[in-house]
Structure 1
């Protein structure tokens, strides 16, 4: 008894090395540990998720001729399930069952839940019937498990049948059961069944909670039944239920699912004025959708309101907002939000830096883009091929700006070549291989600098690496040949492009219109 108490205490404090030594010492003294000592260790390792150790101790216990019990079995099965090892759950369950061990309700529930989540409803139902035949009375947990399984498969008629069977057995469903069934009805578009279910809850003295209403509202919206969602939302708002912010979040998400971004934004603002805030997920989704439709002011307001409520947007939300400001050419505001990220200690990755660098390049502010690149590398953030491509393209565009017109063409070509080669050398040091867009920028740069031989070498290098040039890559080289009057090479390249099933785009046709390849364009279009 004293030994087991010590084992229990050590395991509760997770001093498992000491507990194992105590187990070993007892065995050396010729007194084999009992099932309780092993049980404490197996349970502790299962809680840690250390399945190897748990199974090792289980097998050691069996090798000493100690019979297992339902507690140990349930610990192991729950650990398998938690680690997503569903096949092992079933294998061990069948192994324990075949060994003649009298399994309890908890073990049956674990196996049934595993079958249900794997979509094997026939086996799950067999276990329920097996329980009944073996003298075990299924409870609401087992019935709810079956209902959830059928709902996951969209078999709502079977789910309803199990629900009715549950009621006939005088087993009262709880709020969890009703929520699962409501979610299933919503996903299947069974609107009236949801309202009937809410009435049945009331008849059984159960008040739907905010989660129940939230499931129904989002479900209605997902199924395109927005008017029903709004009716239910208005009813709930008038009731003034607890956790009303869950309802607001559900309705905002519902509007967004239906494509009603403006309605979602107006509801968000109204809720904020009342001193409430929808959940973080809904805020993030709203920012994303507002950016997608180009409502940069709305997205910015959502971020500001979140910060006023001491809720910091995540990196993705900041990235979306910075990106839309960059697209609009408002680099000052883009940098302000970037600076806000830095000040709040958010982990800024290469994606955010690249978005901002790209914005500066497109705004003709290459120097600031280069400064960001240096800042990024100094912070230990490794640039990727996209970041390098952005800078390569930035240098190319800078040479084409009007401000360079006073500089001799040869000088411009030399500087462009030098800048590109410097970045390529850095990529090589970083062991970063160019992809198709990167090669396209490089080829375009060589062509603009009138280094056609080098451009062709890059094109061939891309092919040798197994990369497939797209319409942009072909067009860049075709344009280079045309600009230098090498029409036959351009014509051969165009034919190669067509033979490979790569359809010329508008830019290709624009190049053709400016050259004697106009007839080939007509032939292709025919």
Structure 2
């Protein structure tokens, strides 16, 4: 009955009889179709069962005709006059519905497959962009377009953002132009990514021009757009232009828009870097008056600003204020204050503050260790610096090469060859490779150690040869220390050869090698050679 309703038929008595006939026929069809697809039988000539869709339809038609003839043979003579008309109607109904079922079977899964393929492809494009494989992502986008499906605007923004990140702004521009031509149209996020790309490569004029075209394209810039440009202007040292730009933006918006915490933080950081802490504090107070919610980043900028200006007392005062207002300091907060204490030579306070850091649940990072170790080495407390190094290793934190080199250099400056090489061996045992700075520190230890004072430089030369074997290119510091070592021994011929090698390699040379050679020649009372070295220095400046 549902079949007739679907076909638009009325429910007359004759139709009801026909429906009953159809139910009987469908029952017969179901039984035969079950036999057709039964796993216990195979199709053969003796079975006389259909094996294809056309055969099934033909078979169903035969069954309908047989049933119809039997049904009409028991009816009144009025109906016997035109049984073929009813039979043809039934045959047509069955065929149309079977065709509809076939179409649904063929097209339904196709639509589902296309939708699944689309979602999968755009997901792959986004993952490729995040993985830095922009070439493959663009290839997949092109293949999708060739097959008639275009990725959505979010997927295009992934592509534009990655292209701008790697500096391929020409290709990013090409993608955006294609978006404008064939859809989806670029949105504000698209332009923000493109503007960021120009700012990253210091093309601020193009970024500002792109900003000016957004309104013409029906796209309204948002706070992110403004903050990108304000940050770019401040980074370039154009603080006045940044303030003017922000003022124009707020004026164009009829006062509806206000600067947020990000904008204020950017400007405050720039004021501090320009040495204008009073203007920075005025901006900070203005944030509170306008009820702009501050955050940990704003406090970090404020504390760092005072540290840059050497005002450690104010930095700690706002650190305490941050704690009172419920903001928990992060590792950046601690590193900023730790660095300021070390620069001011307050090593005891720095060590105590490091202990506070460890007890607050904030784990020190490589910067924390580097700051305290470097500060201790600079001020000559190499023993305590080594203790921090061993503390790192006990906590399964393997220091970066710079930290090892700082300690090796500290021992080198003290002429402590034994401990310098001991740290280098420990460094290698933890899988950290030596670099040019490591060797320079060791050569420095050799040239300042007892061996060179006694006229022995062979260990320094062995280190130089080891550098070359390891494929490490010596720098000007390496050659300068070798010159110093040869001069300490009095072997001026070798010192001159190293000096000539510096000039042959085209290394940028400062005054130190000239001064070492000139000073040694004067001690040897060879004023002509000392004058010759001085002349080379004068000619070098020309």
TM (norm. structure 1) is 0.61
- Taking a change above 3 Å as real, the CA distance of residues 78 and 313 of structure 1, as seen in their structure-2 partners, is farther
Give the match's secondary structure for 1:66.
helix
Given that residues 440 and 473 in structure 1 are in contact (C-alpha distance below 8 angstroms), is that contact kept between their aligned partners in structure 2? Answer: yes
Deviation at 1:470, TM superposition (A): 1.7
- Residues in 2 aligned to 1:482 and 1:122: alpha-carbon distance in whole angstroms: 62
Paired residues for 1:315-326 under 5 Å? 315-326=331-342
Aligned equivalent of 2:46: none
RMSD, matched Cα:
4.7
Deviation at 1:98, TM superposition (A): 6.5
Given that residues 413 and 448 in structure 2 are in contact (C-alpha distance below 8 angstroms), is that contact kept between their aligned partners in structure 1? Answer: no
Aligned equivalent of 2:93: none
- Taking a change above 3 Å as real, the CA distance of residues 463 and 304 of structure 1, as seen in their structure-2 partners, is farther
- Residues in 2 aligned to 1:255 and 1:468: alpha-carbon distance in whole angstroms: 42
Does 1:265 find its partner at 2:280?
yes
Given that residues 471 and 503 in structure 1 are in contact (C-alpha distance below 8 angstroms), is that contact kept between their aligned partners in structure 2? Answer: yes
- Residues in 2 aligned to 1:502 and 1:371: alpha-carbon distance in whole angstroms: 37
Does 1:499 find its partner at 2:484?
no
Gapped runs of 5+ residues in structure 2? 1-37, 40-104, 164-170, 196-202, 452-456, 522-528
Aligned equivalent of 1:473: 478
* 1:459-518 per-position Cα deviation (integer Å, ceiling 9, x unaligned): 221122222222222122211222232222222221222222224323323323421163
Paired residues for 1:236-251 under 5 Å? 245=261, 248-249=264-265, 251=267
Which residue, out of 484, 487, 491, partners 1:482?
487
Deviation at 1:347, TM superposition (A): 2.6
Does 1:418 find its partner at 2:423?
no
Given that residues 121 and 149 in structure 1 are in contact (C-alpha distance below 8 angstroms), is that contact kept between their aligned partners in structure 2? Answer: no
* 1:192-250 per-position Cα deviation (integer Å, ceiling 9, x unaligned): 959x969x99xxxx9x9866775676577578423424646987999697895455335
Paired residues for 1:207-218 under 5 Å? none
- Residues in 2 aligned to 1:265 and 1:323: alpha-carbon distance in whole angstroms: 21
Aligned equivalent of 2:363: 347
- Residues in 2 aligned to 1:152 and 1:287: alpha-carbon distance in whole angstroms: 30
Aligned equivalent of 2:408: 392
Given that residues 385 and 434 in structure 1 are in contact (C-alpha distance below 8 angstroms), is that contact kept between their aligned partners in structure 2? Answer: yes
Which of 288-297 and 351-360 deviates more?
A: 288-297
Give the match's secondary structure for 2:120.
helix
Aligned equivalent of 1:188: 207
- Taking a change above 3 Å as real, the CA distance of residues 306 and 190 of structure 1, as seen in their structure-2 partners, is farther
Given that residues 80 and 88 in structure 1 are in contact (C-alpha distance below 8 angstroms), is that contact kept between their aligned partners in structure 2? Answer: no
- Residues in 2 aligned to 1:234 and 1:65: alpha-carbon distance in whole angstroms: 53
Does 1:82 find its partner at 2:126?
yes
Paired residues for 1:112-123 under 5 Å? 119=171
Give the match's secondary structure for 2:426.
helix
Given that residues 73 and 107 in structure 1 are in contact (C-alpha distance below 8 angstroms), is that contact kept between their aligned partners in structure 2? Answer: no
Which residue, out of 382, 388, 392, partners 1:366?
382
Aligned equivalent of 2:398: 382
- Taking a change above 3 Å as real, the CA distance of residues 112 and 343 of structure 1, as seen in their structure-2 partners, is closer
- Taking a change above 3 Å as real, the CA distance of residues 122 and 365 of structure 1, as seen in their structure-2 partners, is closer
* 1:404-460 per-position Cα deviation (integer Å, ceiling 9, x unaligned): xxxxxxxxxxxx222223223212322333211111111111122242111111122
Give 1 or 2 for the bigger CA radius of gyration: 2
Does 1:327 find its partner at 2:370?
no
Which residue, out of 334, 338, 344, partners 2:354?
338
Paired residues for 1:405-444 under 5 Å? 416-444=416-444
- Taking a change above 3 Å as real, the CA distance of residues 277 and 456 of structure 1, as seen in their structure-2 partners, is farther
Aligned equivalent of 1:41: none
Deviation at 1:371, TM superposition (A): 1.6
Deviation at 1:340, TM superposition (A): 3.1
Given that residues 261 and 294 in structure 2 are in contact (C-alpha distance below 8 angstroms), is that contact kept between their aligned partners in structure 1? Answer: yes
Report how many aligned residue pairs link the two structures: 400
Given that residues 478 and 493 in structure 1 are in contact (C-alpha distance below 8 angstroms), is that contact kept between their aligned partners in structure 2? Answer: yes
Aligned equivalent of 2:268: 252
